[in-house]
């Protein structure tokens, strides 16, 4: 690899925001035909570095080279014209427009008199979609596509030029396993065409499966580059967070209390049916299953966002009806939602207000909201969760993805609920913070909270749960204790093997 000319090289990149030195002299090289992972904790500067490369942000200092020729990326369009395309962490498509319009936005093919050449537009788009093997066509409205397919649209957009380098910023965060396989095929195809691929992810298994090299950032500084085949998770983690993690199960020995929540034969249309389980105080119950197994819908029903079609919910032994989230909160149920953008955060608002939003009424003494009390809550959870922000005044939209997630968790923890439901609590969270959040979940249980954790990551479920409820297609297939569960039995249960016996 050494005697080849790099496809791209960044040197000494500095980028500051008010109060934050996001990049502190970072250098980074991408070779043609390699898959190069960019790793680092939440807020380390990964997205910022790629935004500099993609022409979205101008650096304060530093230089970008294309095949060793110095260049300036003056805008995303300009970067794209130079062969650098960016598949964003947060998708940026227009829902109302067709697939074709989204792909060619700003550069629609024109006929004479400036009229859009629709035939050409749809034909060229379909030709690109065909190479990606997707099951939709150019005329489809983007808002009607799944997240995975929307991502395919972003990828198709990248392929309207002969790319030199393609940047994927946490592309698998909301993909199912099958969708990931398709994505990895696309990446391997790009690689075989000599395109340099930059791949940002917090998921070690993926990094070790598809990348050739791994570069690590920490606190805006470049920490080094490793050959994937010659390193391991421990070494990478150490480079990322400067210490070694104890990933063994947190052996908290705590007393289980009385049953806090009991659900009996709960059904909700065809989303889930005949679901029964209990959660004791001091217990963490993990819900494991494939995407679409009905776990999120159960959580939403418990939180008053859906009305059950039959069955009952009991809190502290008493049957209750939960009509709304306000109702759920009053009764001591909190839900940390799966989709932080849609349900958890107001991006334009500052960190403190986002965190204390649901409880403003409790803190309000007369007409004045107690500013001091709110800041105290924010400070407490910032320390507890290690949220990286210059202060509570920072707009949440400016935080890195993982730190946004921590704000959401802090918000619901600060309500001190009796029953806490967390849906995919560590999606997009780096390994260090992930283990902090796992410890925090165990600690909350030991303080007497009843906790439900919904997760699609098996190691996570195995790590935090006292009991595991395995779901398939809206039904509870099996329940396991932490002592008896094995990976094999869990996989069997969630893939519906033996489902006919239960149904
Ligand atoms: N527009 C902005 N204004 C102010 N600060 C910003 C802005 N964009 C990023 N930052 C800050 O720069 C730092 C680096 O953020 P960045 O988004 O690059 O992190 P990241 O490594 O991508 O993290 P994650 O894994 O959570 O996505 C963070 O401290 C973040 O809060
Ligand atoms: Mg990021």
Q: What is the CATH number of the domain that holds 36?
A: 3.40.50.300
Pair (175, 317) in one structural domain: no
Asked if residue 173 belongs to a domain, the reply is: yes
Four-point Cα dihedral 496, 499, 502, 503, nearest 10 = 110
**Residues 14 and 148 reside in one and the same domain:** yes
Both 376 and 480 in one domain: the answer is no
Sign of CA dihedral 248, 254, 260, 266: positive
CB 75 within 8 Å of CB 55: yes
Task: Express each pLDDT in 343-381 by its tens digit.
Answer: 678 888 999 998 887 654 444 444 445 678 888 889 998
Q: Answer whether residue 250 is part of any domain.
A: no
Nearest ligand atom owner, CA of 46: 1
Name the residue with higher pLDDT: 321 or 492: 321
What average pLDDT does this structure show over 329-336? 90
Nearest to 437 by CA among 237, 297, 250, 220: 250
Return the pLDDT at 113. 76
Closest CA to 374 of 388, 386, 358: 358
Task: Give the DSSP H or E segment for 217.
Answer: strand 213-218
Rounded to whole angstroms, the Cα distance separating 288 from 308 reads 21
**Are the C-beta atoms of 231 and 204 separated by less than 8 Å?**
no
285, 453 in Cβ contact below 8 A? Answer: yes
Question: Closest ligand 1 atom, CA of 89?
Answer: 27
If you average pLDDT over residues 439-445, what whole number do you get? 84
**Res 360: pLDDT:** 47
Give the list of residues 6+ apart from residue 18 with CB closer than 8 angstroms, or none. 390
Q: Indicate whether 278 belongs to any domain.
A: yes
- Shared domain for 114 and 261, answered yes or no, is no
Partnered with residue 230 across adjacent β-strands are none
Q: What lines the ligand 1 site, CB under 6 Å?
A: 17, 20, 22, 40, 42-48, 388, 398-403, 430
Tell me what the mean pLDDT of segment 97-117 comes to.
84
pLDDT at 502 over 50: no
Q: List residues, by chain if needed, whose CB lies under 5 Å from ion ligand 2.
A: 47, 401
Q: Are residues 473 and 495 in the same domain?
A: yes
With pLDDT > 70 as the criterion, what percentage of the chain qualifies?
Answer: 91
In a domain, 479, yes or no: yes
Does residue 46 lie in a domain region?
A: yes
Range of the domain at 374: 345-416
Which residues sit opposite 263 in a β-bridge? Answer: 277, 313
Q: Domain end: 369, 392, 416, which one? A: 416
Q: Among 371, 386, 416, where does a domain finish?
A: 416
Q: Are residues 8 and 84 in contact, defined by beta-carbon separation less than 8 angstroms? A: yes
Same domain, 218 and 267: no
Share of the chain above pLDDT 90, in %: 49
Q: What angle do CA 407, 413, 414 make, to 5 degrees?
A: 85
Burial of 419 (0-12, 13-18, 19+ CB in 10 A): buried
In this predicted structure, the answer to whether residue 335 has a pLDDT above a threshold of 50 is: yes
Atom of ligand 1 at shortest distance to CA of 388? 29
The whole-number average pLDDT for the span 414-440 is: 84
340, part of any domain: no
pLDDT-derived band of residue 503, with 50, 70 and 90 as boundaries?
Answer: very low
Residues 321 and 296 in one domain: yes
Question: Which residue among 400, 416, 432 closes a domain?
Answer: 416
Could you give the CA distance from residue 379 to residue 363 in angstroms, rounded to a whole number?
16
Say which DSSP state 183 is in: H
C-alpha span between 386 and 434 (Å, rounded): 11
Kindly provide the b/e burial profile for residues 420-437, where b requires at least 16 CB atoms within 10 angstroms of the residue's own CB: bbbbbbbbbbbbbbbbbb
pLDDT for res 479: 94
Instruction: Tell me if 67 is assigned to some domain.
Output: yes
Question: Rounded to an integer, what distance in angstroms lies between the CA atom of residue 53 and that of residue 44?
Answer: 16
Total count of domains within the chain:
3
Within a domain: 3: no
3-class secondary-structure state, position 391: coil
Q: Strand, coil or helix: what is 269?
A: coil
Dihedral, CA atoms, 328, 330, 331, 336, nearest 10 degrees?
50
Higher-confidence position of 135 and 249: 135
CA atoms within 13 A on the CB side of 347: 9
Asked if the model's pLDDT at residue 332 lies above 50, the reply is yes
**Shortest-distance ligand to the CA of residue 403:** 1
**Could you tell me the two tokens for 278?**
């209990």
**Joined tokens for residue 418:** 């009796």
> 494 and 368 in one domain?
no
CA of 406 to the centre of ligand 1 (A): 14
More confident residue, 459 or 214: 214
Q: What is the mean pLDDT of the chain?
A: 87
Three-class SS state of 285: strand
Same domain, 355 and 318: no
- Arithmetic mean of pLDDT, 401-417: 82
Model pTM?
0.74
Is residue 247 very low, low, confident or very high in pLDDT (cuts 50, 70, 90)?
A: low
Q: For position 366, what pLDDT does the model report?
A: 44
Question: Is 220 in the same domain as 325?
Answer: no
Answer yes or no: do 487 and 349 share one domain. no
Q: Which residue has 């052996």 as its token pair?
A: 251
Lowest mean pLDDT among 102-106, 182-186, 194-198: 102-106
Ligand 1: residue whose CA is nearest its atom 28 = 43
CA of 189 to the centre of ligand 2 (A): 25
Same structural domain, 51 and 124: yes
User: CA 256 to CA 264: how far, in whole Å?
Assistant: 20
State how far the Cα of 240 lies from the Cα of 381, in Å rounded to an integer.
23
Q: Which of 138-147, 218-227, 249-258 comes out lowest in average pLDDT? A: 249-258
Give the per-residue pLDDT at 297: 94
Q: Taking residues 241-248, what's their average pLDDT?
A: 65
Least confident of 41-45, 276-280, 323-327, 439-443: 439-443
Nearest-CA residue for ligand 1 atom 31 is: 399
């Amino acid at each position: 690899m050494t005697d080849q000319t790099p496809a791209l090289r960044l040197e000494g990149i500095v980028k500051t925001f008010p109060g934050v030195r996001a990049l502190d002299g970072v250098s980074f090289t991408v070779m043609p035909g390699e898959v190069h992972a960019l790793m680092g904790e939440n807020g380390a500067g990964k997205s910022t570095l790629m935004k500099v490369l993609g022409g979205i942000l101008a650096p304060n200092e530093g230089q970008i080279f294309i095949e060793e020729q110095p260049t300036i990326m003056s805008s995303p369009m300009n970067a794209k014209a130079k062969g650098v395309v960016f598949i964003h962490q947060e998708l940026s498509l227009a829902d109302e427009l067709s697939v074709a319009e989204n792909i060619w936005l700003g550069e629609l093919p024109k006929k004479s008199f400036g009229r859009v050449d629709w035939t050409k537009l749809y034909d060229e788009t379909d030709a690109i979609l065909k190479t990606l093997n997707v099951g939709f066509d150019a005329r489809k409205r983007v808002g009607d596509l799944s997240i995975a397919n929307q991502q395919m649209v972003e990828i198709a957009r990248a392929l309207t030029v002969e790319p030199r380098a393609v940047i994927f910023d946490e592309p698998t965060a909301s993909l199912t396993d099958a969708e990931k396989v398709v994505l990895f095929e696309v990446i391997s195809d790009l690689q075989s065409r000599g395109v340099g691929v930059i791949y940002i992810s917090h998921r070690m298994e993926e990094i070790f499966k598809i990348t050739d090299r791994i570069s690590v950032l920490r606190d805006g500084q470049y920490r080094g580059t490793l050959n994937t085949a010659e390193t391991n998770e421990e070494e990478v983690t150490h480079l990322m967070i400067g210490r070694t993690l104890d990933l063994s199960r947190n052996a908290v020995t705590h007393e289980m209390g009385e049953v806090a929540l009991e659900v009996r034969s709960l059904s909700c249309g065809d989303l889930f049916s005949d679901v029964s389980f209990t959660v004791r105080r001091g217990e963490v119950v993990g819900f494991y299953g494939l995407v679409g197994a009905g776990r999120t819908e159960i959580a939403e029903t418990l939180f008053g966002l859906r009305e059950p079609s039959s069955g009952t919910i009991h809190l502290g032994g008493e049957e209750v009806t939960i009509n709304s989230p306000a109702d759920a909160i009053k009764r001591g149920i909190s839900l940390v939602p799966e989709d932080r953008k849609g349900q958890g955060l107001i991006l334009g608002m500052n960190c403190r207000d986002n965190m204390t939003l649901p409880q403003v009424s409790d803190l309000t003494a007369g007409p004045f909201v107690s500013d001091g009390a709110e800041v105290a809550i924010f400070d407490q959870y910032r320390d507890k969760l290690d949220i990286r922000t210059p202060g509570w005044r920072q707009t949440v939209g400016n935080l890195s993805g993982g730190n946004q997630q921590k704000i959401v968790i802090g918000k619901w923890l600060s309500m001190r609920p009796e029953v806490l439901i967390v849906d995919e609590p560590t999606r997009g969270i780096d390994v260090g913070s992930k283990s902090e959040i796992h410890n925090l979940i165990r600690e909350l249980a030991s303080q007497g909270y009843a906790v439900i954790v919904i997760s699609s990551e098996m190691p996570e479920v195995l790590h935090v749960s006292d009991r595991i409820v395995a779901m398939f297609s809206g039904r509870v297939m099996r329940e396991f204790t932490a002592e008896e569960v094995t990976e094999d039995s869990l996989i069997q249960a969630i893939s519906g093997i033996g489902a006919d016996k239960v149904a």
